[in-house]
Structure 1
């Protein structure tokens, strides 16, 4: 039977509850894309509705995923819930559910990677080549930056033992800076 709250047996297990905060911070730090999205809108006054809709839909997906994952796996839920789908779930057509989850996750990665990679490439170009011509005008620079970033991402994907480590590191460093340090610093420095 699934429980609503986790078991807290001692102080160490209590502090382990806080390891989820960097992951949640990473999940909701997406405002660096707002300016690109606003530039694409015909009516920029709609940006508030776009942000509210995207945050609401992301929250609903996150809550549903965690709720149904916990209902399905209970206490056996692993930190990386996708690892739970490597075994027989003990339900009819378990293998179809496992394959559907894998295919949907692969589709998610294929659709989200270009959205995240675009601002990364633009910002790396601005960091290393601040006075150069715009990136789309320089095919060589575009190819080198793209290749270098893809190689770095590939190496990280192969040598980081768990996605949990990457989420915690990103949430504890970059996401905190993007969400809470850089915006007020930009306003202060104006």
Structure 2
């Protein structure tokens, strides 16, 4: 399974592609961030993110997309931009008919580090270890995107098998 992880952000939108399956070593395909300038109008920034995500989908042809679920923080200006970038990510994936999963930050932290309260450095260290990298991906948004893809492969892949088994048994997933 090949998964595009997206850590939505208006200034830096982390993107990372991981390939693998549960119980097998995972492989980093590519990782980066899509950047926009705060001096640009919000609409243009969202178009830049959309075009960037479309380019990643064209180049890497993922089987699924995993996006960080937006949650309330104290800074409403930050959450608004994150939510807008998240919406763009959902639209570009849905437009192509790709399965999209939303994972909470604590779910991702728990999946890759064993603790839902892990800090960014711990997540980066575990992504480095899981993917057998020489150094943690920078910036943290890139590492977070990879953590989302890893989480989806480990958890989303298992959920897909459960749903398929239920469907085969004639029950709704």
Larger Rg: 1
Q: Same fold (TM over 0.5)?
A: no
Question: Greater helix percent: which structure?
Answer: 1
Q: Which category of TM-score, normalised to the shorter sequence, fits these structures?
A: under 0.3
Question: Greater strand percent: which structure?
Answer: 2
Q: TM (normalized to structure 1)?
A: 0.25
Q: TM (normalized to structure 2)?
A: 0.26
**Structure with bigger RCO (C-alpha 8 Å, 6+ apart):** 1
